[in-house]
Amino acid sequence: MVDKEIVREWLSKANEDFEFARINLEEGKTFFAQICFHFQQSAEKCLKAYIIAQELEFLKIHDLLMLLKICLRKDSSFKQLQKDCEFLSTYYVDTRYPVHWPTHFSQDESEKALQSSKRIRSFVEEKLLLFI
């Protein structure tokens, strides 16, 4: 039996990442690498919420394309998120050491990350209406 509260928690954390990034972008902050990272994190948490809700194989990974592949096992319509997942995957940072943190992202890329993350978030939320 699926614990709906856990699904809601994942969606809540996804929303926090999304709103943090969106607000910083709207306020004109130039922390584009961090903004893009949080949009990627939002998408990741949304996909994981769906995986948990559907009782699919849960892996402790950050690879959006692999998470998407897991979602596709249940619902082929997730295929439409492929390009957004590919795009956002470039913004995941595996380390927190500053020397490895990318700094070359632009406002334009951040705006595109916003749109990709928003599409994934909306799509998953629609699929999980029973849980939210």
Share of residues in the chain with pLDDT > 70 (%) = 92
Read off the pTM.
0.93
Residue 104 has pLDDT above 90, yes or no: no
Question: Quick one: average pLDDT of 20-49?
Answer: 96
Residue ranges of domains in the chain, CATH in brackets: 4-127 (1.20.120.330)
Please choose, from the candidates 23, 30, 48, 42, the residue with its C-alpha nearest in 3D space to the C-alpha of residue 118. Answer: 42
Residue 94 has pLDDT above 90, yes or no: no
Closest residue by Cα to residue 81 from 111, 124, 42, 112: 124
pLDDT in tens, 41-86: 999 999 999 999 999 999 999 999 999 999 999 999 999 999 999 9
Tokens in use for 61? Answer: 């990974």
Higher confidence at residue 99 or residue 117? 117
The distance in angstroms from the start CA to the end CA of the chain is 16
Cβ atoms of 102 and 94 closer than 8 Å = no
Output the CA–CA distances (angstroms, integers) from residue 112 to 9, 22, 106, 116, 129, in the order listed: 26, 11, 10, 6, 26
- Between CA 76 and CA 84 the distance in angstroms is 16
3-state helix, strand, coil in the chain (%, to 5): 70, 0, 30
CA distance 111 to 115: 6
